[in-house]
Chains A and B, each alone.
Chain A
């Protein structure tokens, strides 16, 4: 192990030296859950990978596993000469802002929450719009007219998903009943698949036959339970339809991959700008998935209705409510 490390470090240094000669060094810090969470962080990783493949520029990355690491992770990236550091997840805000103040020449991109520092670009999504569409799909696919939602930690971000989903379901079929559960009110709510499965089962027992999980790795338990119970699940952030082919109605995708890719590209080409960007259906940054795993579940009528609603929302004729924290 020790030797392998030294070798790896040596290799990285030699590989890194031409990169530092190029002077462009992108870096990314994932949130708890890590880059293989099959969801939010994995989407970010996919975007960074795409950038690497297209440009040949390697990127530094860090996976947070404890709260105390956040600030250290950003500071390390900045100190080692990163040109742009992307922070994935709203929990990165405090650490990112602190480091961004110390390194005013380094570009920072923050995903999922906002910051008004002059060297920070913030990207947030109109989750309610994408959730509205999958809510419509859920209501149309449900035979019991009961659909469920399982959220992770109870925060306004997840409430945005929940409200959009519930509004969408009722838009498609006003008789639909929507069950809503939050896993908890601490960050542990993102990493408890057993509880997620239990919440899903409780909703199935109440009659739900389509369940939307927006809960990090807890959601994997939700989707497992819906698949085990012969019901339909809806994935979140990344396309999760492949997890249980035939038992996944769709996924509400947030194109974090595009955000990461574009931020890296813009920084490389010199047209990166600080400020706040809000992305939704109109920017094609949220939406639902149709692929070989679920195309039999989404009938042409369903698709036509959802596409119509999508056009209406983009045109501004159909207003989707946004959750307001009380």
Chain B
């Protein structure tokens, strides 16, 4: 029975760890499907985490925090769009510039506003998204299996986890079942054709980057006002890049991307539990190796399995109307 509890604990941690990856990767998916490389997911998450924590700290409301986070990430996405879509700049260079900006600016602003060495004040529980109890949770508690399933695995997460879960089918629907989605996919494959059809490439790419920014913004807010309680320097800790890796491994499709995020999160959840545990035959695994696991898996997967993946055809190429 103890093993079962442990198993559910790992799955539940997987869900919590996957949520920000899923949101950020879906954000990147919209941007990249439109033909714009989104290397700045990390920047958007970090800026959103900071804006969300600051706003929530000042107003005491997680909702205002969430909106501020989205606004900050969308603002960065618009800078990216202005540089790369309007002015056809290099998308990787613009993305890296944003990453550097978002690593440096929040600690400076936080020091100026809150005088706490680049962090925001710790948030009280009413300024964060709390873990939600599903209906009938008390009833489910009476039976262990049901308790584990209903209250630990499905329930007991914060609101943004459910937002992430809902975002996957929603993104798939928008991408594959709407006119906007069709145009978005087309603009990543052949912008000239879209342009010839009388649809604005620039407008579509702006829309895609704004959606991407909003989703990355929710992911960032998740880190600072749902999972955590306040912004600390560099708190995204490479999750934006992990989301990008998941997006590529998921071949720029929503459901495979979700699975890739779940895989990365699962490896991460496992690694927190493998430390100091003796494994049969192998014995004690050094901490260094265990904590490198998610990255080793990423490299192996990207190097080995994804070779056949076809990115959107014109990704990285700015579109300018031929004269």
A: residues with CB less than 8 A from B are: 30, 32-37, 41, 63, 65, 154, 179-185, 188, 191-195, 197-199, 201-202, 205-206, 217, 220-221, 224, 228, 243
Given contacts A34-B118, A185-B291, A205-B5, could you give 6 more A-B pairs where the C-beta distance is less than 8 Å?
A34-B117, A41-B117, A182-B291, A194-B228, A197-B227, A228-B125
**7 closest Cβ pairs, A-B complex:** A34-B117, A205-B9, A36-B116, A36-B117, A185-B288, A217-B232, A202-B272
Give Cα A154 to B275, complex, Å: 12
Q: Residues 228-268 of chain B: 1 if any A CB is under 8 Å from the residue's CB, otherwise 0? A: 11101111011000000000000000000000000000001
A65–B107 CB distance below 8 A = yes
Interface pairs (19), CB distance under 8 Å: A33-B117, A34-B116, A35-B117, A37-B117, A63-B117, A182-B291, A185-B291, A193-B228, A193-B230, A193-B232, A198-B16, A198-B268, A202-B13, A202-B269, A206-B9, A217-B233, A220-B229, A220-B232, A221-B229
Q: A36-B119, A41-B117, A198-B16 are in contact. Are A192 and B6 (CB under 8 A)?
A: no
Q: How far is the CB of A253 from chain B (nearest CB, A)?
A: 19
Contact of A224 among B116, B122, B291 (CB under 8 A): B122
Q: Are A191's CB and B273's CB within 8 A?
A: no
Contact: A181 with B9, CB < 8 Å?
no
Interface membership of B170, Cβ < 8 A: no
The docked-state distance in angstroms from the alpha carbon of A182 to that of B13 is 17
**Inter-subunit contact A221/B115 (CB<8 Å):** no
Whether the Cβ atoms of A201 and B117 lie closer than 8 Å is no
Task: Name the distance in Å between A245's Cβ and chain B's nearest Cβ.
Answer: 12
Size of the B side of the interface (Cβ < 8 Å), in residues, is 38
- CB A231 to nearest CB in B, in angstroms, measures 14
List chain B residues, Cβ under 8 A from A182. Answer: 275, 287, 291
Question: Is there an interface contact between B235 and A194, defined as CB atoms closer than 8 Å?
Answer: yes
Known contacts A41-B117, A192-B237, A198-B16; is-contact A181 B275 (Cβ 8 Å)? yes
CA distance A224 to B16 in the complex (A): 16
Q: Are B6 and A206 in contact (CB under 8 A)?
A: yes
Q: A36-B117, A180-B276, A197-B227 in contact; A188/B17 too (CB < 8 A)?
A: no
Q: Does B43 contact A (CB under 8 A)?
A: no
Contact present for A195 and B237 (CB under 8 Å): yes
**In the bound complex, do residue A65 and residue B233 qualify as a contact, i.e. CB atoms below 8 Å apart?**
yes
Q: How far is the CB of B262 from chain A (nearest CB, A)?
A: 15
Chain B residues contacting A197 (CB-CB under 8 Å) are 227-228
- Bound complex: CA A201 to CA B234 (Å): 22
Q: Tell me, in angstroms, the Cα distance from A35 to B223 when the chains sit together.
A: 23
